[in-house]
Amino acid sequence: MCGASSFRGREGPRAGEGGRCRDSCGGGIAAGCGSSEPGEPDAAPETNEPAVWDPCEELPDDVIAGIGFDPSSMEREIAGVEQPGWQICTWRGERKGLTILTTVTRSLDSLRDEADNVDKRSVAIPDPDSQIWRPAHSIDTVCEIMWPIGDGAG
């Protein structure tokens, strides 16, 4: 079972410029369950906890570099602090950052409906049920694109 995935695009301002939020994320990344056979998900290990897709492990360095981020800048979690039920991975580029989060513990609706989220709307990519919003506390620099995968959200 895989959860949902989220891209948090962040573009930092240069001196004298305001930040701006991009409404789309770099092409070429698709989240999902991994497998050695194309089109077939891996068998989930036997555990009481649902499997959460790990972007740090599953996304190849060439894909990260190909969309403008430095693979060697990868950081897990949030400031090195584990977030139970989530897999979180961040990469930096010259003027922007990318954070990918996955979970099976929260629904897409519960994340979208958090009080701090504004400018909520539906988008068709990467999934027909994708949603985009901005956190009010960082409206000029962060946008989040989220879509369901399996039973979770992220």
**Is the residue at 153 inside a domain?**
no
Extended strands (E) in the chain: 4-11, 70-76, 86-92, 96-103, 117-123, 130-135, 142-147
Within a domain: residue 152? no
The number of folded domains in the chain is: 1
Return d(Cα 101, Cα 98) in angstroms, integer: 10
Give tens-digit pLDDT for 73-111: 999 988 778 888 888 999 999 989 998 888 888 888 888
Q: Is 32 a domain residue?
A: yes
Question: In which element (H, E) is residue 111 found?
Answer: helix 108-112
- Asked whether residue 27 is domain-assigned, the answer is yes
Res 46: pLDDT:
56
| Alpha carbons 44 and 127: distance in angstroms, whole number | 23
Dist. CA 80–CA 82, nearest whole Å: 6
pLDDT of residue 92: 93
Which residues in the chain land under pLDDT 50? 1-4, 12-38, 40-41, 44-45
Beta bridge partners of 122: 131
Full domain range(s) for residue 129: 4-147
- Which residues are within 8 A (CB) of 115 and not within 5 positions of it... i.e. 6 or more apart? none
0.85 cut: is pTM over it? Answer: no
Is the residue at 154 inside a domain? no
Residue 67 lies in a domain: yes
The answer to whether residue 88 is domain-embedded is: yes
